[in-house]
Amino acid sequence: MRIWKKIAVLVMALFISSTAAAGYAITPRKVAVLPLINTAQYKYLADIQIIQDTIKKPFKYPYYTVIPADISAKISQELITENKNAKLSDEKFMAAAADKLEADIIVVMELSRARFDRLHTWNYEETYVESDVELKCYSYAAAAKKYSVLKAGKYDRESESINTNADVIFKDLTETILEKLPYKRIPVDSKPNDQ
């Protein structure tokens, strides 16, 4: 008989805790990562995709949902078609995109500089890579109507290695921006309207 009482108490406790948890459900913030702006005219798309994939890292369920890239790209293109002078990185454009996508947060990355030069010593014993890269991140929080711009860059000459590859540098610079980005993996609160 005692065992049945313990089981009944346990079942009741589980029921109460699950009912209480349902009252505190998290409403994920909707995030749109718009297509990357490639003002550097960098031609290797796989490297550029690393920037886009890395910037999405903190936006994980249950706190965030990322709007599919094709939908974000389609709406961006429609808005640019409507206004030929619009730029993806402009605050007004981002506000309009947030409205049209019903997004809480808009993020746009720009690769503004990307130069990689291989240099050799006079006897070709050593190869160096001179890199000059700059990334910018534009973000817009719809509820607070807050627009921000973050930058990360690298200008260096170093011995050629895996760390001098463009993909590694792009990932490192994007992660530097993520450290400064006001949207963290777990938001301070769970309400989408408070930023």
- The one-letter code for the residue type at 133 is V
Residue with tokens 């170093």: 158
Beta bridge partners of 105: 31, 141
pLDDT by residue (tens digit) across 49-105? 999 999 999 999 999 999 999 999 999 999 999 988 889 999 999 999 999 999 999
Nearest to 152 by CA among 171, 129, 139: 171
pTM for the full predicted model? 0.79
d(CA 91, CA 156): 32
d(CA 79, CA 46): 26
Q: What token pair was written down for 63?
A: 């706190």
pLDDT by residue (tens digit) across 120-170? 877 778 888 899 999 999 999 999 999 999 999 999 988 888 888 999 999
